[in-house]
Amino acid sequence: MESPHLNRPSRPTASMFSASALILLISATATLDGALPTSAKVPAVFVFGDSMVDPGNNNDLDTMAKCNFPPYGRDFPGATPTGRFSNGKVPSDMLAEAFGVKELLPAYLDPELQIHDLLTGVSYASGAAGYDPQTAEDVKVLSLSDQLDLFNESVARIKAEVGEERAASIVSESFYAVCIGSNDIINTFFPLQLSNQEKGNISSYTDLMAEYASSFIQELYGLGGRRIALFGIGPIGCVPSQRTLRGGFQRDCFDQENEAAVIFNTKLYSLADSLSSQLPGSKIVYMDVFYSFFPLIQDPSQYGFEVATRGCCGTGNIEASYLCNNLDDILTCVDDEKYIFWDSFHPTEKAYRIAMDQILTDNMNKFF
């Protein structure tokens, strides 16, 4: 099976695979400035999802999926390990920054969170969560249902602070992002397939994921959300840990996971289109992560990177969460600007910025 091609289609299709394509050169120093229409303004940004957008909600949970310790956060302001699964900022921060709301999007469960922080948005995301509630349950993190409960709790707090009318305005005019799904495929579906514990069909499983996504979006809409971005799954078969565990001796990309991601993304694209038509006043937009990030992996030098198959932390082959720690310092890279991945699963801030710049440039005018 060949790797997914890099021509970014108007809608993703599972059959679009080829070995060559045109690469869009993006400056490695690109910022998100200019990605938004000049008239775009939102009072707050609220984010749901997994470790890609978790700024520290897992810190006090009884789970192994956390990273509030060095060397995580070494390039974050103050070199602080906040619980963000990267060397620095993550996409939830970049969204808040792009909208001019604030520089950093805090975790809702941050014990130091103040009401003024909540009024301009927070992230409810929980590392290792998925659309499938079983994915979160297996590792004791916040499911999407749990995250939605926290949002509902937030709305009550906002109403108590600013009154019903202003609270309704904040909720309806804010920007919502949902970034989740990778763990369902990597940690829930494929382990069962490879261990022969339970044989399933990826088409059926991604149907189930899409059903959970649909229910979540409709519930969020029912609570007042209108501008909702649905981030697709990236090329997860090419992250360093999957190359190590499932890519064979050569540590190639695990094509089956990439194909599964594209299959689900196709369904998520259709879901966004369908729900936008069904739900009055909504703007629900699919955000293409796969074809925005894959070019970096295929031709890293075009984007100022030197290493695409290993993470910076430790050996870069398997380390993530507790396996990425100060004991790895002797092996951890000095210059993470050369690396697409920070640990064996999560990108560096630089890689996130390049992909997010492309995603926002392509899509933000659709919300206004």
For residue 112, what are its two tokens? 């130091």
Q: Is 5 a catalytic residue?
A: no
Strand order in the sheet with 227-231: 45-49, 175-179, 227-231, 283-287
Give DSSP secondary structure letters for 191-254.
HHHHHTS----HHHHHHHHHHHHHHHHHHHHHTT--EEEEE----GGGSHHHHHHHSTTTT---
Neighbours of 148 (CB within 10 A): 20
Active-site position among 93, 132, 336, 343? 343
Indicate if the alpha-carbon torsion angle 98, 101, 215, 56 is positive or negative. positive
Cβ-contact 102, 190 below 8 angstroms? no
Active-site position among 3, 51, 86, 214? 51
The structure tokens 């909208």 sit at 99
For residue 302, what are its two tokens? 């075009």
- Cα gap 321→141, rounded to integer Å: 14
Q: Is 116 a catalytic residue?
A: no
Residue 327, C-beta contacts closer than 8 angstroms, at least 6 positions apart: none
- Cα gap 16→180, rounded to integer Å: 23
Using DSSP's 3-state secondary structure scheme, residue 367 falls into: helix
Using DSSP's 3-state secondary structure scheme, residue 312 falls into: coil
Cβ-contact 82, 67 below 8 angstroms? no
Active-site position among 54, 214, 336, 346? 346
Residue 168, C-beta contacts closer than 8 angstroms, at least 6 positions apart: 224
Q: Is 346 a catalytic residue?
A: yes
Cβ-contact 310, 339 below 8 angstroms? yes
- Cα gap 300→310, rounded to integer Å: 12
Cβ-contact 137, 189 below 8 angstroms? no
Secondary element (H or E) of residue 182: helix 182-183
Secondary element (H or E) of residue 287: strand 283-287
Residues identified as active-site: 51, 343, 346
